Each structure stands twice: as structure tokens, then as C-alpha cells.
């Protein structure tokens, strides 16, 4: 890897490495880190609209839509009509809930390994810096 002082390049490189770490933990569950996050948000939000789910996850609707279609095809979520024809609700299925329950110990282990690697002080500092950067426009 070529060294660089570019924040964007380094953040993207780190994000890819962290994603690989969590994806490896999710091997065998049939989902990746983005899909796990989507399922967790579905469980937390309880039948959100596609728009509110995208907003909660900080994604645009088209990016979210790709993973929604994949997870719908796998039977882990379903789309239902909302209050009107323009509003569709995203619902976690029993299979989706079971997948989350099964994957949770692997996710928690991956999380703990990263926290152990960083230590508490660096973890807290990283979370603070990421929160600051998340609001950058």
C-alpha cells in the first residue's frame, strides 16, 4: 500500500478493513456487514418505511434498495403496503430475526476483538472523531 496523508483515502481504507473483519465474522450466516446492519435497524425501528429506514441508516434509497431486494429474496425481510400506495414498509421476517439471533455472538466477538485491539481510550477517541466527521458536508 502506498502511504498517503489524504484523510479520505485513509478513512476508506480503514472502513474496508473493518468491513472485511465483520464480514469474516458473518461468514456462514448468509449475510454481510451491510445486510446485518440493515436487519438490526429493521428490528430496532419495527416496520419503517423505506425512506425512514434509509434516513436512519444514512443511506440513499437506491443503495438501501439493493440490499433490501437481496434480503427479501433470501426471505429475511418483506415489503408491505403502507398507509397509501406510495409508502412501502419494510418488515423483518421470522427467518430474519432468527438470522440476527444466530449471528449476534459472532458479531459481538468481532466487536470485542476490535475493541481489545484499540483499547478503551483509543476506542472512545475514535468514536468521537467519527461522530465529528459524520456531520461533515
Residue-by-residue DSSP string for 39-64: HHHHHHHSS-BHHHHHHHHT--HHHH
Q: What is the pLDDT of residue 62?
A: 86
Determine the Cα–Cα distance for residues 3 and 23; give it in Å rounded to an integer.
25
Which pTM was predicted? 0.87
CB of 14 within 8 A of CB of 53? no
Q: Domain segments of the chain: what residues?
A: 29-104
DSSP state letter for 137: -
* pLDDT above 90 as % of the chain: 76
Cα separation values, 28 from 94, 115, 125, 136, 137, Å: 18, 23, 32, 36, 37
CB of 124 within 8 A of CB of 101? no
pLDDT in tens, 6-47: 999 999 999 999 999 999 999 999 999 999 999 999 999 989
- For 29-104, which CATH class? mainly alpha
Residue appearing with cell numbers 439493493: 66
Amino acid at each position: 500500500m502506498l502511504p498517503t496523508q489524504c484523510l479520505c483515502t485513509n478513512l476508506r481504507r480503514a472502513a474496508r478493513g473493518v468491513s472485511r473483519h465483520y464480514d469474516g465474522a458473518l461468514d456462514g450466516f448468509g449475510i454481510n456487514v451491510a445486510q446485518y446492519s440493515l436487519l438490526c435497524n429493521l428490528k430496532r425501528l419495527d416496520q419503517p418505511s423505506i425512506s425512514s429506514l434509509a434516513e436512519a441508516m444514512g443511506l440513499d434509497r437506491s443503495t438501501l434498495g439493493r440490499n433490501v431486494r437481496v434480503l427479501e429474496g433470501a426471505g429475511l425481510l418483506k415489503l408491505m403496503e403502507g398507509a397509501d400506495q406510495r409508502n412501502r414498509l419494510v418488515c423483518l421476517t421470522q427467518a430474519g430475526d432468527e438470522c440476527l439471533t444466530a449471528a449476534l455472538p459472532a458479531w459481538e466477538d468481532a466487536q470485542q476483538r476490535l475493541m481489545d485491539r484499540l483499547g478503551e481510550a483509543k476506542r472512545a477517541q475514535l468514536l468521537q472523531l467519527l461522530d465529528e466527521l459524520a456531520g461533515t458536508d
